[in-house]
Amino acid sequence: MFELIDVNSAVQELALLVDQCLNRRNINASITLAGDLPRVSADRDSLHQVFLNLVNNSCDAMPNGGELEIATRYLSQNQQVEIMFSDSGAGIALDVVEHLFEPMFTTKQSGSGWVS
């Protein structure tokens, strides 16, 4: 269901949810929330799902711990809200980047998809 969502609150809810899990994995999360965000029309559950998937990807990419940064900002020229997830893992290999938006693409034995 689409509704007007405060993205910063959604990010804070996510942070609460994953806090313990990140601590156990020695991942230090830092969150920077922009003060000037307009609310956006979005489906709250889908947004949470995407957030969780991105955090899971970061966890997989940092098996020995590291840094996870989440930041929001408003791009006034495009009237877009940007949510950035960044981690200190090895990064996404160039030959993987071009497949990122393909459903069921994975490089993991345990991923939900065909292993490339």
Ligand X SMILES: Nc1ncnc2c1ncn2[C@@H]1O[C@H](COP(=O)(O)OP(=O)(O)OP(=O)(O)O)[C@@H](O)[C@H]1O
- Pick between residue 74 and residue 105 the one whose CB is nearest to ligand X: 105
Coil, strand or helix: which one is 95?
A: helix
**Contacts (CB under 6 A) with ligand X, residues 70-109:** 87, 89, 91-92, 96, 105-108
Among 57, 86, 88, 107, the residue binding Mg ion under the rule CB under 5 A is 57
Alpha-carbon distances of 68 from 20, 90, 109, 111, rounded to whole Å: 14, 13, 24, 21
- Pick between residue 58 and residue 72 the one whose CB is nearest to ligand X: 58
Q: Outline where DSSP puts E strands in 47-116.
A: 66-75, 80-87, 105-106, 114-115
- Pick between residue 57 and residue 86 the one whose CB is nearest to Mg ion: 57
